[in-house]
Structure formats: C-alpha cells, structure tokens
Chain A
C-alpha cells in the first residue's frame, strides 16, 4: 500500500510539472506576446518597454523565464502584473468563497441526486422513474452560462426572490451568506443532481439483482430495510468515488463561470479576471492550484479504490 501511495504521489508531481510546462507554453510561448508591451500602456515609448522587460525579466530566454517563474511559485513570490501583488494572497483569499460555493452545491447535489436516484430506482420503469430520468437528462443538457443569467434575471431581478448574488462571508452574517449563495448553489448543483441520480439508479438496479439481496428478502426483511441496508449502502460506493473526482474538479475551477456571473469573488473569479487580462502569473497560480486539487482527489480516489480492491495494487499501472 505504501508503495502504491508513494508512486501515486510521485506521478502526481509529474503531472503537475507537465501542467505547469503546458500552461507556460500556451500562455507565454504560443501567443508570441510580450507582456511588457501590454504593461507599458497606450502611451509607451520603446525605452519604457525595455525598462519593463528588464524589470520583469521578459528579455530572458524562455527556459530561464520558466525556471524563474517556478522558483517564484515555490517561494510564494509569484506576482501578478497589474496590480503587482502576490498571487498566493488572492488565491488564499478566494478559497473561502469557492469552498462555500462548492461545499454548498455538493451538499445539494448529493442530497437531491441521491433522493431522486433512490426514488426512481425503487419505482424503476414506472412513470415517476421516467419523469425523473427525463428531468435529470434535461438538467445535464442546459449550459450553465445560460441557466445562471436566466435564473438571475427572473428570480433575482424580476421577482426579487433572491438577492443579487455576491459573496457575504460566513463570519460576517451566516444568514446573508446562505441567502446570497442559494442561486449559485442550485445553478452549480443542477447538472450533478441529474447525473448522480442516474448513477445511483443504475447501481441500485444492479445491486438488486445480486444474490445477497435476494437472500435478505428471503429472510423476510422488510422491503424498506432491504433497500436501505443492503441495496442503497452497496450502491453508494461508486457514487462516492465519483463525488471525490467531481468535488476536486469543482474546487479546481468548475465554478469559473458560476462565480463570474454571480460575482462571487472566489478563486474562479480571480481566474476569470486573470484570463481577461491575460496575465501569466495568476493563470499559472490558479492552474496549478486547480490541477493540484484534481490530481489530489484523483489520487485519493485511486488510493481508496486500491484499499478496497487489492487487485488494483497488483496491476502494473496505478492509474485505475
């Protein structure tokens, strides 16, 4: 097990390294942009551009620039261009908002996803099942950047049921915190609700056909007990796996569009701002932060799997 975990972690570092190189290449090398020219502003003289190049090291060779940037990542000195402020601070400041959004949405999608999945599984084939299946697929099919403004426009502006989002820190006012987050939570959760209910439904149907469930029934356990104790419990394992991966992805950046539309100043919001300004340091910071969460939760899921299923450990590759 130790060996598996250590290898998985080493692979993780490799992946993060690759992510950093790709982000650097895509944002620094391919666009053939000299950030100094953008920074110098609309009235720039060649001398000013040169000074800025020297100040930021844009005149160094690309490998040197990459090395400098990665050194700054590790020493926490990564600085955005405009304004010239530490990237770490902004990311750390953004985490509470992003976590609030992600955790709240996750609670909602798990609760409703499992509830709907359970209901449609025990009524499999019935009209309720069909309706729920239809609804969940429809939920998956709506682009979030359409759903969010529509919800905001109708529920917040037209009907004034919810406040215009924006993040109110929990420490400041827990009630307002929740009230402001309800719309974004549901927006983010909606797709996952549909998806999780489908996963749970299909797992439950599979489990219901297993021998031990029949045995349990034969023993005379009530249908509800059979369902909750045996079927549901055993169907949850893959759901939890999925949840690990999804949750990582959500913290990592699922929320970019949601945060931007609802003006929640989390990490995704910062990423949106950085991309708009096309500034490499914050983009690098956010990309590594995001990749770290994705890779970490992937690894955790793999390790959990390996723990549950030793065959995986014997496999040559640690990816499954």
Chain B
C-alpha cells in the first residue's frame, strides 16, 4: 500500500462541481420546468501519482462527473482545477494543450475504438495530432506502447474487430498513455470485461502507474475492484459524494448507509481472484 499522504499542490482539484440537465416543456417555446441533478455539488482532489476511486451505482453521476472534469460536457457550475489552473468553462482551443495531460479510458472497449481504423491509427493519432511524432518514429513509438500494454507490435495494422474485449481495453489504455498524461480518468474500465480479464487489466493499470507516475481517477460500481487499486475512495450517490476517505478506512469502517450497502453487494470472490486481490494488496 502506497503512502497516500503525499504533500504538495493537488494535480486535480474539483470543487462544488454541478451538472444539471434541464427538462424542458412548452408547446412552442421551451421553458425549463425541472432538472435532473446528475452531479450535484461534488468536491474531491487527486494528487500527483495517486489513485482516487469513485464508486457508486450506475446512475449515481460518476460518469457525468468524469466527463465534466474533462470538459467533454460543460459543467453547470463549480470549479475544476488542474495543476492549480481553472479549466472549467475555458474554450476548446485553450483546453487543447491540457488534453495531453489528462486522458480517459472508457467503459466499453467495443464502442470506444473506431471500427474503421487500424490499431496503429487509433493509438498513433493523438501523437500525430499533438505533433509529437510522425512517420517511422510514430510507428516505433506506437509499437513500443503496444508491447508495453501487453500486445504485439504486429498488431499495428489490425482492425479492432479482430481483438477480444480485454485486448481492446489494452488498446484503449495504450491510446490514453500515448500522450504521456499526468492524469488518467478510468471510467469503469473493467466492468464490461470477464472477471478473469478484469484482474489482468487492473494489474496492468497498476504497473503502468508505477512506470509512468500516473494519477488515476478510477470509477467503478464495484467497490471491490476500486478498493484494490485506490489509495482513497469517494462514494457517490444521487450526484453527491456521501463518503470520502482512504481506501481501507472506507472499506473497513464505512460511515454511510449507502457505502455499507455497496460493500454488502460485493460478490463473494472466487478463490483465485481473492488470491490475486490478496497478493495485490501486499505489493
């Protein structure tokens, strides 16, 4: 277990983040009659190299929060600071250089890879787009990345449909890492995978964190998975964070009823996974 009390300026600081979706009614002219409070005043921080787990049932606003942090959707209010800089509400162009620093891994490995593009393009496009590499240098870097995430460099020319779910998620990881970000937001990266594959991916993420000094905002509905990888955990329910604390603290001694419910729902692990989980926690 890593020491979670790392001093210094927070890498990501989210304060009072709110995202409301309006419900409009009106025969001809829309009036806002109500709103869905998807994210309703959420605050958390992620330190350099740290993993913050964000748990909650589906519909609790986790994914919306992630997207609001990355400015993929516009937050209704609140502040998002990256390395001390306010990014909430800034323009697309100003946001662009910051995109290098913060990347995302998506939940659905099938939908998140463009089926009409080759792996080399998928992983290499960000590099090319940001002007980091091109030509044979690009190819070399991409192939290196592929190998690093556990794929073969020969996969460079293949299409996504030729890969299994776990392999695809590795591609997604390679894509996220290609720009060498400081923060990676993982939106339920393993929930769509078989249980056996889940562990491999989680371990890979863990290894990469060490290697690249990454910070993760790790979102999942399964508190068991989150507990394994996170330094700290925040529990979200109905758009609000109901409990936040170190991983052990939240899991061993939950304060909120909702957290307790989540913990109770964790399936009884099979022996192998429990072993892995155990060995993981010893690392």
Within 8 A of B (CB), among A1-30: 2-3, 6-7, 10
Which residues of chain A are within 8 angstroms of B158 by Cβ–Cβ distance? Answer: none
Closest partner residue, chain B, to A6 (CB atom): B27
Give chain A residues whose Cβ lies under 8 Å from the Cβ of B28: 6-7, 10
Complex CA gap A2/B26 in Å reads: 9
Could you tell me the distance in whole angstroms from the C-beta of A311 to the nearest C-beta in chain B? Answer: 15
* Chain B interface, number of residues (Cβ within 8 angstroms): 4
B25 on interface, CB distance cutoff 8 Å: yes
Neighbouring B residues of A6 by C-beta, 8 Å:
27-28
Distance in angstroms between the alpha carbons of A10 and B27 in the assembled complex: 11
Q: Taking CB as reference atom, which chain A residue is nearest B30? A: A3
Where chain A touches its partner, the secondary structure class is helix
Q: SS class of chain B's interface: helix, strand, loop or mixed?
A: loop
Chain A positions within 8 Å of B26 at CB level: 3
Contacts of A7 on B, CB cut-off 8 Å?
27-28
- Counting chain A residues whose Cβ lies within 8 A of the other chain, the interface size class is under 10
Nearest chain A CB to B21's CB is how many angstroms away? Answer: 11
- B25 partner residues in chain A, CB cutoff 8 A: 3
**From B25, B27, B28, residue with most partner A Cβ within 10 Å:** B27
**Which B residues are CB-close (under 8 A) to A10?**
28
Interface string of B23-61 (1 = CB under 8 A from A): 001111000000000000000000000000000000000
Which of A3, A6, A7, A10 is the most central at the interface, judged by chain B CB atoms within 10 Å of its CB?
A3
Q: How far is the CA of A206 from the CA of B26 in the complex (A)?
A: 38
Residue of B nearest to A2 (CB): B27
Give the docked Cα–Cα distance between A7 and B27 (Å): 7
Query: How many Å from the CB of A8 to the closest CB on chain B?
Result: 12
How many angstroms from the CA of A223 to the CA of B27 in the assembled complex?
48
A3 to B27 CA separation, bound complex (whole angstroms): 4
Distance in Å from the Cβ of A158 to the closest Cβ of chain B? 56
Which A residues are CB-close (under 8 A) to B27?
A: 2-3, 6-7
Q: How far is the CA of A3 from the CA of B26 in the complex (A)?
A: 7
- CA distance in complex: A154, B206 (Å): 82
Minimal beta-carbon separation of A315 from chain B (angstroms) = 12
Residues A299-313 near B (CB distance < 8 A): none
Q: Which residues of B contact A3 (CB under 8 A)?
A: 25-27
Interface residues of B in 160-183 (CB under 8 A from A): none
Q: How far is the CA of A250 from the CA of B259 in the complex (A)?
A: 63
Query: How far is it, in angstroms, between the C-alpha of A10 and the C-alpha of B29 when the chains are bound?
Result: 12
CA distance A7 to B28 in the complex (A): 6
Interface bits B3-39 vs A (CB < 8 Å: 1, else 0): 0000000000000000000000111100000000000
Would you give the shortest CB distance from A231 to chain B, in whole angstroms?
A: 29
How far does the alpha carbon of A270 sit from the alpha carbon of B258 in the complex, in Å?
Answer: 74
Of all chain B residues, the one with the shortest Cβ separation from A7 is: B28
A285 CA / B26 CA spacing, docked (Å): 34
Give the complex CA separation of A133 and B138 in angstroms: 50
Interface residues of B in 193-219 (CB under 8 A from A): none
A201 to B28, CA, bound (A): 40
Chain B residue at smallest Cβ distance from A10:
B28
**Smallest CB gap from B26: residue in A:** A3
Q: List 9 A-B contacts (CB under 8 A).
A: A2-B27, A3-B25, A3-B26, A3-B27, A6-B27, A6-B28, A7-B27, A7-B28, A10-B28
Listed in ascending order, the chain B residues whose CB lies under 8 Å from chain A are: 25-28
Extra 6 A-B pairs, beta carbons < 8 Å, given A3-B27, A6-B27, A7-B27: A2-B27, A3-B25, A3-B26, A6-B28, A7-B28, A10-B28
8 A-B pairs with the lowest CB-CB distances in the bound complex, closest first? A6-B27, A3-B27, A2-B27, A6-B28, A3-B26, A10-B28, A7-B28, A3-B25
